[in-house]
Amino acid sequence: MTELSKTATGETATAKAPSAFLEVRDLKVHFPTDDGIVKSVDGLSFSVEKGKTLAIVGESGSGKSVTSLAVMGLHRLGARGKNVRMSGEIWLNGKELVGASPDEVRKLRGREMAMIFQDPLSAMHPYYKVGDQIVEAYRVHHKVGKKEARKRAIEMLDRVGIPEPAKRVDGYPHEFSGGMRQRAMIAMALVNNPELLIADEPTTALDVTVQAQILDLIRDLQKEFGSAVIMITHDLGVVAEIADDVLVMYGGRCVERGAAAEVFEKPQHPYTWGLLGSMPRIDRETSERLIPVKGQPPSLINIPSGCAFHPRCPYADIPAENVSRTVRPELELVGAGHWSACHLSAEDRERIWTEEIAPKL
């Protein structure tokens, strides 16, 4: 157990480095706005080991991207980023990043951690040649000449499966197809062999075939480099395909997490049941409509009292004494390494899962 000593203000005075490669503890990212404080991430903890993939899932607006940007230190950048309140701890390879200087985090970004996005143009500049951008990314962290860096860029383009890399290295992003542009961005993210790769919905904009190729690529590269991967997605199919562990986010918090196999086999949280029910299945008639989780995601300015999911939860009235509406459920151990935050008793969860949910999936 790692000991944390808290000061009177609740701030950590002496935090010890955890053994996990990446460990996030009680992360909060709040944005004060004219309408109120947006609590995008509100007390999130998780860890990822090298060589493993953690999938973070949840509907749009649940705080997934803000979490990844916080790990990358990108909230300090840009005009909007100035207005952010961040607390908690982010330990990467023994270094704490929330309290680190922007300069320290910048040094780690690219070299120790890198990120790929849904839209490659948010990482690549449209007016510069793809190869020059990869060269630049490499030379920020390596004292090498342009020629050597260019060789490395061609190598990387080849590695991510771009045909004729020696020629494509001089192309502009708009001359690449969507899938090829995605590959080029991955090449740029991986040029420095980062030990942590965060992929934020990397395949959402791509068609199914290209999607599968990109996931294969990420998996191969991970095997080759032994990196830790955080895969952010709203697609549980992607999770089943690629993740070792899964964390389900709702309203800026974790509602369930555990080994992916365990969470798929025996999900414990009503929100996860809802997500599973909305998952497309190959063996279903295509005419059969997907059932999305009923209702709207919560406002992060006025997060519902008690369990944030209670306005949408079909089982909110089962736990006694209105507790779903008044008391926020904390994460509890519900299986080996499996955590869930819900007031339902183990018996009720078991009954609902086996009698109502599982037969319909």
Ligand X SMILES: Nc1ncnc2c1ncn2[C@@H]1O[C@H](COP(=O)(O)OP(=O)(O)O)[C@@H](O)[C@H]1O
Question: Given the rule CB under 6 A, which of 55-63, 178-186, 336-344, 347-355 is the region that contacts ligand X?
Answer: 55-63
Alpha-carbon distance 11 to 287, whole Å? 54
Question: Alpha carbon of 303 to those of 141, 329, 356: distances in Å?
Answer: 42, 14, 28
Of 75 and 312, the one with the shorter C-beta distance to ligand SF4 is 312
Alpha-carbon distance 206 to 133, whole Å? 22
**Contacting residue, 12, 62, 192, 340, with ligand X by CB under 6 A:** 62
CA 327 to chain centroid, in Å, comes to 27
Question: Given the rule CB under 6 A, which of 60-68, 175-183, 204-212, 329-337 is the region that contacts ligand X?
Answer: 60-68
- When asked if residue 65 is in the footprint of ligand X (CB under 6 A), the reply is yes
Of 33 and 322, the one with the shorter C-beta distance to ligand X is 33
Report residue 63: phi and psi, to 5°.
Answer: 105, 15
Question: Alpha carbon of 335 to those of 55, 243, 263, 268, 359: distances in Å?
Answer: 19, 18, 10, 9, 21
H/E element, 205: none
- When asked if residue 251 is in the footprint of ligand SF4 (CB under 6 A), the reply is no
- When asked if residue 298 is in the footprint of ligand SF4 (CB under 6 A), the reply is no
- When asked if residue 65 is in the footprint of Mg ion (CB under 5 A), the reply is yes
Minimum distance from residue 152 beta carbon to ligand X (Å)? 32
- When asked if residue 270 is in the footprint of ligand SF4 (CB under 6 A), the reply is yes
CA 358 to chain centroid, in Å, comes to 27
Question: Given the rule CB under 6 A, which of 33-41, 171-179, 203-211, 313-321 is the region that contacts ligand X?
Answer: 33-41
Identify the CA nearest to 190 among candidates 140, 238, 137. 137
Minimum distance from residue 134 beta carbon to ligand X (Å)? 26
Query: Which partner in Mg ion, ligand X, ligand SF4, none is near 319 (CB below 5 to 8 A by kind)?
Result: ligand SF4
State whether the Cα torsion 84-89-92-98 is positive or negative: positive
Minimum distance from residue 24 beta carbon to ligand SF4 (Å)? 23
Of 60 and 287, the one with the shorter C-beta distance to ligand X is 60
Alpha-carbon distance 168 to 150, whole Å? 12
**Contacting residue, 31, 117, 176, 315, with ligand SF4 by CB under 6 A:** 315
- When asked if residue 66 is in the footprint of ligand X (CB under 6 A), the reply is yes
Positions that interact with ligand SF4 (CB under 6 A)? 270, 307, 309-310, 313, 315-316, 319, 324, 329, 342-344
